[in-house]
Structure 1
């Protein structure tokens, strides 16, 4: 299978690092013009330079915007008003006792992890429908099924993405636009690498070995017995964004290493 995204433009939110960057790089490698976004100008510039070096002939643009705000989402839309592919990836996670999480903390994670996808989709999907072709991908998580007791707020945002993606797919039914969610399991993103490195128990371990130990301790139902690489998640996103995935829509697609016990 040869995936050709030439003459397509992809916007990937939160794409200076980790899974977002890997998805943007994969789309660029398939020929798409890619828009990298992030909150910090230096990180956006560094990601653009890195991708230009890694993908020969890549067409890469950057937008600096805080997508946890309505104004930031509007800034990205103003800069790139007509993409063919939208990947709603931006998000964050961290321990938060649900009995102590404040209203402001709830609003922050909902704005970043959920409302960014609502706002960008609301602004950009109508154009895709008018043009008769488009791909929208929401980065959910296995935590949408297995709500982490230590990160209930994060799990809630990822479950909400499943509902949003399925409902939005129904809203644009028959238009040529597909809407899907991807559910990664534990993945060696920059965020997880940093979290593992902060644990004294991982001193002297490679990130990969620390990831194996994390999965064994915290996701014992994993079938691959390790954390995924960001590229493994990106591979699914590139396929879902392709013309070959035209019959895949309204789906929750797992790249979770078998963590989720359900068979369907």
Structure 2
């Protein structure tokens, strides 16, 4: 299968690093015009440089905007009035005990992880329906199904994304627009790598040992028994964004290494 998205414009939020950056690079390799997004112009410019270096001939531009706010989402939509593919990837996580999570953290997580996708879907989905083609993908998490005790507020936002994604998919009935979620498991992005390095330092372990022990202790049902790479998650997202994925709609697609112990 050769995925060709030439002529399509794809916006990937939070794509200056991590899974989002890998998705942007993967989409650029299909010929899509990719729009990188991050909060600072410097990081956006650096991401564009990295993608054009990795993918010769890539069509990439960037918009710096903080999608955790209504103002930032409005600024992004003003700078980029139409997209064919929207990847709602921007997100934050932080391990913290339930009794230590203040109200403002719950609000902040909801604004970044949930409201960003709601606002941008509202801005772009009607255009997709009018043109009768489009892809919206929410980057959720297996934590939306297996709520982690160490970060319940994060799990809550990932469950919310699943509900929103399915609800939006219902609005596409009879069209060539699809809305899906992808559920990564533990993935070795830059932010997670920092977290694992801190664990290694605290426990006097190598990074490899700390990563292996984390999966065994906190995600013991994993079938692959390791962290995924950002590219492995991006592969799923690129497919779901493709023309070939035309009958995949309203789905929660697991890319979590078999952590979730169900067959559906």
How far has the Cα of 1:202 moved from its partner? 6.3
What TM-score do you get using the length of structure 1 for normalisation? Answer: 0.97
Measured in 1, the distance between the counterparts of 2:76 and 2:256 equals 30
Show the counterpart of 1:217: 217
Match of residue 127 from structure 1: 127
Q: Which digits, 9 at most, give the CA deviation of each residue in 1:12-53, with x for residues without a partner?
A: 000000000000000000110100000122111110111110
1:106-255, aligned counterparts within 5 Å?
Answer: 106-199=106-199, 200-201=201-202, 205-206=206-207, 208-255=208-255
How far has the Cα of 1:168 moved from its partner?
0.3
1:23 is the counterpart of 2:16: no
Q: Is it true that 1:71 corresponds to 2:71 in the alignment?
A: yes
CA separation in 2, counterparts of 1:56 and 1:234? Answer: 18
Quote the offset at 1:209 in angstroms.
4.8
Question: Aligned Cα RMSD in Å?
Answer: 1.2
Counterparts of residues 78-89 of structure 1 (less than 5 Å): 78-89=78-89
Matched length: 263
Q: Secondary structure at the match of 1:47?
A: helix
Work out the CA distance in 1 between the residues paired with 2:12 and 2:93.
18
Structure 1 gaps, min length 5? none
Q: Deviations over 1:158-187 (max 9, x none)?
A: 000000000100012112100000000000
SS in 1 for 2:162: helix
1:7 aligns with 2:39: no
Q: Which deviates more, 192-201 or 225-234?
A: 192-201
Equivalence for 2:38: 38
Q: Secondary structure at the match of 1:182?
A: strand
Contact 1:196 1:202 in 2 (8 A): no
TM-score after normalising by structure 2: 0.97
Q: Secondary structure at the match of 1:178?
A: strand
1:74-107 Cα offsets, whole Å, 9 max, x none, are 1111111111000000000002222332222111
- Matches of 2:25 and 2:204, distance apart in 1: 31
CA distance 1:204–1:49, shift in 2 (3 Å) = farther
CA distance, structure 1, for counterparts of residue 95 and residue 5 of structure 2: 38
Partners of 2:258 and 2:157 in 1: CA distance:
21
